[in-house]
């Protein structure tokens, strides 16, 4: 999955996703001697996730300057697109740490151990954050879509 798309899944804003991806690539380049070709993708995912979480911890003011309100094209008759948009909107209502765990587990299809290693936490923390994150996602999705979140919808996130 491209770096920008992973960053978008984490932050929900294409402009911010580009900034996160760019920062991640710069950090990765600075430590290129540590990167092995077979682990480059995993290293990039780790750097992207940590860059996203760092930006939230520091409380940076996130600019959203636009000249005009952008149009949001949606193909007519495609309820799946609407469902996916509602799911991503609900995902961005989940706290950042839990959102990072959900994106790594379900969008990136990483194991509990891989997520724990990426976030430098225990497997138990990943499990509890996944549980809490899914509960928060269900509530946020129900509030937005007016329907309960089904397992098949979460599986389609990626």
Q: List pLDDT tens digits, range 9-33.
A: 888 888 889 999 999 999 998 888 8
Per the domain annotation, does 62 fall within a domain?
Answer: no
85 plus 35 within the same structural domain: no
Q: What is the mean pLDDT of residues 75-90?
A: 70
83 plus 53 within the same structural domain: no
85 plus 137 within the same structural domain: yes
36 plus 98 within the same structural domain: no
146 plus 107 within the same structural domain: yes
39 plus 85 within the same structural domain: no
Q: 24-28, 37-41, 67-71: which has the minimum mean pLDDT?
A: 67-71
Contact between 49 and 119 (Cβ < 8 Å):
yes
83 plus 120 within the same structural domain: yes
List CB contacts of 97: < 8 A, sequence separation 6 or more: 53, 129
Q: How far apart, in whole angstroms, are the C-alpha atoms of residue 145 and residue 26?
A: 38
* Domain that includes residue 134, residue range: 79-155
133 has a pLDDT exceeding 90: yes
Per the domain annotation, does 130 fall within a domain?
Answer: yes
Give the pair of three-digit tokens for residue 10.
């984490």
Give the pair of three-digit tokens for residue 94.
């989940």
Give the pair of three-digit tokens for residue 148.
């309960």
70 has a pLDDT exceeding 80: no
83 plus 149 within the same structural domain: yes
52 plus 84 within the same structural domain: no
Q: Is pLDDT larger for residue 141 or for residue 113?
A: 113
Q: pTM of the entire structure? A: 0.59
- Domains: count for the chain: 2
Q: H or E stretch including 142?
A: helix 123-145
Give the range with max mean pLDDT: 37-41, 60-64, 121-125, 143-147.
121-125
Per the domain annotation, does 72 fall within a domain?
Answer: no
Q: How far apart, in whole angstroms, are the C-alpha atoms of residue 72 and residue 123?
A: 39
Confidence of residue 84 (pLDDT cuts 50, 70, 90): confident
148 plus 83 within the same structural domain: yes
């Amino acid at each position: 999955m491209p770096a920008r798309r992973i960053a978008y899944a984490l932050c929900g804003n294409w402009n911010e996703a580009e900034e996160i991806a760019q920062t991640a690539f710069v950090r990765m380049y600075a430590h290129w001697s540590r990167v092995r070709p077979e682990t480059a993708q995993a290293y990039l995912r780790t750097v992207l996730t940590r860059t996203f979480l760092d930006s939230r911890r520091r409380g940076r003011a996130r600019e959203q300057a636009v000249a005009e309100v952008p149009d949001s094209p949606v193909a007519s008759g495609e309820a799946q697109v609407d469902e996916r948009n509602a799911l991503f909107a609900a995902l961005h209502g989940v706290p950042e740490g839990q959102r990072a765990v959900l994106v790594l587990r379900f969008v990136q299809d990483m194991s509990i151990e891989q997520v724990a290693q990426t976030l430098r936490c225990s497997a138990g923390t990943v499990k509890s954050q996944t549980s809490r994150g899914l509960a928060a996602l269900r509530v946020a999705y129900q509030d937005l879509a007016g329907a309960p979140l089904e397992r098949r919808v979460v599986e389609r996130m990626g």
